[in-house]
Each structure stands twice: as C-alpha cells, then as structure tokens.
Amino acid sequence: MTVDLDGEPCFCGNRGCAERYAAPAAVMLHARDVRADLVGLDLALEEDTVAQDFDKLARAAVGGHAVAEALIAESARYLAAAVVSFVNVLDVDRLVLSGPSIAVAGSVYARAVRDRLTESAFARQSHDVVVELATNPRDSAAIGAAALVLQSSVAPGHGPELVRRRPG
C-alpha cells in the first residue's frame, strides 16, 4: 500500500509502499543513518541482524531513548497512514495489529493508529474502530495459515481450495 506517492522504490515494483517506511528493515535502515546517536544499544546494524536489532531498538524506544523513540514513531506514523486507507476501503469495526514491529513496540503503533483513525477515518462520525494488539504478534501469520488448513478439514468448502491441474 502506497504511503508516499513519490517515495522510495519498492521491491514490488511500486514506489512509496508502507513496507519501505514502516517495516523493521526500513526502520533499521534509517537507524544506520543515526548510528552515532544509538551507541550503547548494542546494535549490529547488519542486513542479517534486522530482527534482533529492531527488538533492541524497540525496547529502547519503549524505555524512553529519544532517538529510538523517533525512529519507531516515524514507522508507526507510516503504518497508521496505511491503516487509515485500509479502514476507509473496508469499513471495519475492529483491527488487530500483529507482526514483528508489534511484538515489542505495539503500544507505540496502536496509539499512532488510533490517533490517525480518530483524525481521518471516513466513518469516525458513525462508529469507532477498535484497535487491538494480537496476543501472539510474531506468530499470527502462521496461526492464521494453520487455522485455514484446519477450517478446510473441518468444514469442507469453506477454506482454501487446491486446484489440480491436469497434465498436458
């Protein structure tokens, strides 16, 4: 989902996607630019340490480290912009945030999303959107995939269908 029309090129072929601004990898890329202000957080700032470094940065942000807070807040702001577009299109009543960013700094992301929805969601006059944090944010995608498989076993015809291709 585009959050900056003239933004950074994305691996998907578009420009300015939320992934380029809100994802842990994007946050850590920006952290490299201000590494001198992050001394003492034990960040490796390498491509293969993004997950570990993001967790450390998020913990520092939640703990009050000003530069870490600014990096996470910027990420949350971009995620909030994407969420507003999503909510405006689908008119949802409840939104559950999950993923690596949410695992440690969920409160920062939830607050940014709630604030943005209150300011600019189309339906804000008629109903609120409840914003919650997933109980298992790191594993939500795997749990959802497993639930789809189980659903198709328990209730055939109500889950994902596998299409068998005929040879030739």
Whichever domain contains 149, its CATH number is: 3.30.420.40
In a domain, 4, yes or no: no
The confidence score (pLDDT) of residue 168 equals 63
Look up the pTM and report it: 0.84
> Is 10 part of a structural domain of the chain?
no
**pLDDT score at 158:** 65
> Residue 72: which of 87, 86, 53, 85 has the closest Cα?
53
pLDDT at res. 31: 98
Q: Is residue 79 part of a domain?
A: yes
Q: How many domains does the chain have?
A: 1
What was the pLDDT predicted at 154? 81
Q: Which pLDDT score, from 0 to 100, does residue 145 have? A: 85
Q: Is residue 160 part of a domain?
A: no
Domain-embedded: residue 6: no
Judge whether 105 lies within some domain.
Answer: yes
* Residue 12 burial class via C-beta count within 10 angstroms: exposed 0-12, middle 13-18, buried 19 and up: exposed
pLDDT tens, the chain, 168 aa long: 999 999 999 999 999 999 999 999 999 999 999 999 999 999 999 999 999 999 999 999 999 999 999 999 999 999 999 999 999 999 999 999 998 889 999 999 999 999 999 999 998 989 999 999 999 998 988 888 888 888 877 877 665 565 666 776
In a domain, 164, yes or no: no
Does residue 13 sit within a domain? no
Which domain does 146 fall in, by range? 19-154
Phi, psi of 136 (to 5 degrees): -130, 70
Q: How far apart are CA 115 and CA 19, in angstroms?
A: 21
